[in-house]
Chains A and B, each alone.
Chain A
Amino acid sequence: MLTSRGCWCLFSVLVILSLGLLRPSQTLTLLGLTLLLWFAGQWLWFLVRLSGVRRLHVRREVWDDRSVVTTLWAGQTFEVRMRLVAEGRLSLPHIAAADRLPFAVEHIDGSLHVQGIVSAKEPLETTYRIRCGPAGLVRFEGVRIEAADWQGLFYYVHFVHAVVVLPILPLLMPRTSQPASLKRHNLLLPPGIHRFRCPGSGSELLDLRDYLPGDPPRTIAWKVSARRDRLITKEFESEVPVRCTLFVDASNSVRVPAPCGAGPQQIRYGKALDRLIDIAAGVLQANASIRDLTGLCLFDEYGASYIAPARGSTHRTECLRLLAAAAARLPDQPTVPPDHLLPLAYSFAAEVYPELLRPAVNSVPLAMIWLEGFSGYARRLHGGLLELLHRRKSALRTLCWWTSFWALVLPVSLLLARTLFRTRALDNSLLIILFFAPLAVLAAWGGTIFLFGVDAVVGRSKRRRDRWRKQLAAIVSARYGLAPGGLAVLLEDDDAFSRLLQRFLSEHQVPYTLPLYSPEGRYLFAATEKITVLADALVRAVGRGRDNELFVLLADLLELDDALDPLLRAVRVALGRHHQVVLICPWPPGLDLPPTRGQGPGAGDAKGPSSLALGLSALGPQQLWDHVTTQRFHRAYQRLRRTFARLGVAVLCAAEEEPVPLVLRRLERLRSLGRPHS
């Protein structure tokens, strides 16, 4: 509340007043009193006007070129108009407002800051332009308000919450060429209708067969019947719409950032899911343009959500919204130590929830920080000696008290016993106790004081971390309905705290990174459960499907060879029902592309083991790590391709360099060629 400027001013005024009263000097006293009254008056006036600051409102509108919008598009530019409105007649102190820019957008021009005095008649306004990032959600939290008097002696920070969540839909690529315009047969079907080599009511001849009773007379091939001297019936192909169902992987494994590499593309495609969503949106758009029906199934480790194939703009918007919501989800992993997330979460909370971090509502007792420490059971298992000391300071204190207690009780008991039984052993024991008890007490207290001193000197970062943890635990406990007991639980249980912290960050769309591997070296985001979910979803889609279905699996199945069996069974079922299946595997951004068919997995390393070892030794640790990861992914991709090639399923790699149209062309080729009827 009081700035350093205010503190110095108050100090000087008090010095003048004290000197005036003590010396005594009427001039000085009067001077001190004048300044003190002015200072107190300013303070009170500032306090009274602060209630108006807390009642400020924010009105925000997002405009495109023409009007206010409620849906944004990836990569597009929009204008944000923010207006700060005051209620009541009381004039407010000088205010600086800063609109908090969401993480999903980029500021282009215009000012996020505006300052002045707000009143009911004259609101503060600012306008700026933003460019949206990849598909997801954009969350405007509100406006940070700084209030001060004109002298800068008093200061107050407030955050006006005005949460607006808008979806960023994936950008629909403009079509550069007209696919499938080649006339492969002497037939050009209307858009949305495809040949299906099963007997049906189409116009293209499929086969001739013997007449069966009940066949319509108009299908009899009279000329052929005359030649063969028996009735022959014509069979025609079916002409059906192709239904395409997209199975998009939204599991943890595609929500984590790329495992290695860094480049300009990594900023655009920070995670594999962004790429998948762009491809899905591209396929949606392409299918819509040729009037094909498109369905969507989003799946993760826990379950799947399904939208039946349909066409039309409403259906497409619904699919895009679902994709945007999936893109907005951040990875979650309960076994991650919360210390990784604490600095980010605390700085965000300090920015957006300053009122919930005030000592009046969210205190951190000094005794707990300096004398007791937060025990944090789960973390204590992995901590070092200093960490253990920091955590168990209360145990040291208890040890001191118990030592002192027994050092007092034992001699008294022995003295009492000696009055009853006078034995030599008792005398000796008493002597030993009388000698060692004070020593033990001294050692216990001295050692404890020393260890407390050590902790006080080296444990500054730990104390800060404890403070952050307590305050954040209190906030998430109250926010997620765990109060009043949740605070104590979250201080002890690292996993629960970590999970809620991730939820807190995820809800506010704050991007965070998690360690990919556990301390034991286990990959934490494999998400093998999604295979079963995907297989079930595929089987269900086959069950609902009609004749000519195309199932596009946009899923990260790399290095999950051992768990693929349920999916392979489901794919066999789909192929057995004459449907087509395509697998598009997202390629992690920043990694080299897998070798093409001519090259083997180790084609680049054909110089021999010795030269390879020499080359590897010249690499730095980061490059070596990248190299090993790349090789690992290449091998996994080849294995996956071989596995699905046995079933006749094409596997495409959705690499960052590979444009969406290329993927679409491959899909188009697969669709137009069709699968021979077996």
Chain B
Amino acid sequence: MKYGWRELSGWLLIGLAMLGFVLVYRLALGHFLAEMWVIAIIALVVFWGGIQLLKVAIAARICQQAQDRLYLTKTDKEPK
């Protein structure tokens, strides 16, 4: 759960962005073109932010695993 909050926030943002896209779709059906573009841009930014958060969380977990394997195991001694 060390990086869980970041990952969860990422998924939340992605969910929010999806809601935004649904809203954009409904606006598009109603021919609210001006409002649609604004919401679409906001949703895109939120989506991008969510993806970034997810990437950072996963990258952090991967890095942590690699560091643990590299330094916590006794790799500096040659097998005999």
Contacts and interface: CB of A to CB of B under 8 A. Distances in A.
B15 to A, nearest CB: 26
Interface residues on B, range: 10 to 19
B69 interface: yes
A94 interface: no
B19 interface: no
A481 B76 CA distance: 15
A153 B67 CA distance: 47
B35 to A, nearest CB: 24
Interface string B36-79: 00000000000000000000000100111111011100011110
Contacts of B77: 302
B76 A489 contact: no
Contact of B70 (A325, A332, A484, A486): A486
B76 A485 contact: no
Nearest to B65: A485
B55 to A, nearest CB: 13
Contacts of B65: 485
B69 A506 contact: no
A499 B66 CA distance: 15
A332 to B, nearest CB: 6
Interface string A296-338: 0000001001000000000000000000011001001010000
A480 B78 CA distance: 13
B75 A486 contact: no
A496 B63 CA distance: 14
Contacts, number: 44
Contacts of A488: 59, 62-63, 66
Contact of A484 (B62, B76, B78): B62
A217 to B, nearest CB: 56
Contacts of B71: 496
A482 interface: yes
A226 B37 CA distance: 129
Q: Is the interface of B mostly helix, strand, loop or mixed?
A: helix
Nearest to A301: B77
Contacts of A506: 78
A397 interface: no
A335 B27 CA distance: 62
B80 interface: yes
A508 interface: no
A485 B71 CA distance: 13
A503 interface: yes
A537 to B, nearest CB: 15
B75 A332 contact: no
Contact of A503 (B62, B63, B64, B75): B75
A2 to B, nearest CB: 37
Given A480-B75, A486-B70, A503-B75, A305 B80 contact: yes
Nearest to B70: A496
B57 to A, nearest CB: 13
A334 B74 CA distance: 13
Interface string A460-492: 000000000000000001001110111011000
A321 to B, nearest CB: 11
A488 B60 CA distance: 11
Given A329-B78, A334-B76, A499-B76, A482 B69 contact: yes
Interface in A332-357: 332, 334
Contacts of B70: 482, 486, 489, 493, 496
B3 to A, nearest CB: 13
Contacts of A493: 70
A476 B69 CA distance: 13
A493 B75 CA distance: 15
A506 B65 CA distance: 25
A630 B71 CA distance: 39
Given A305-B80, A325-B80, A485 B66 contact: yes
Contacts of A332: 76, 78
Contacts of B69: 481-482, 486
A119 to B, nearest CB: 40
For B62, B66, B69, B80, the residue with the greatest tally of chain A CB atoms inside 10 Å of its CB is B66
Most chain B Cβ neighbours within 10 Å, of A485, A486, A503: A485
Contact of B66 (A326, A334, A486, A503): A486
Interface of B: 59, 62-67, 69-71, 75-78, 80
17 contacts: A325-B80, A329-B78, A332-B78, A334-B76, A477-B66, A480-B75, A482-B66, A482-B70, A484-B66, A485-B65, A485-B67, A486-B69, A486-B70, A488-B59, A488-B62, A496-B70, A499-B76
Given A334-B76, A496-B70, 12 more contacts: A302-B77, A326-B80, A332-B78, A482-B69, A482-B70, A484-B62, A485-B64, A486-B66, A486-B69, A499-B75, A500-B75, A506-B78
Return the 9 tightest CB-CB contacts between A and B, nearest first: A485-B66, A485-B62, A486-B66, A489-B66, A485-B63, A302-B77, A482-B66, A482-B69, A496-B70
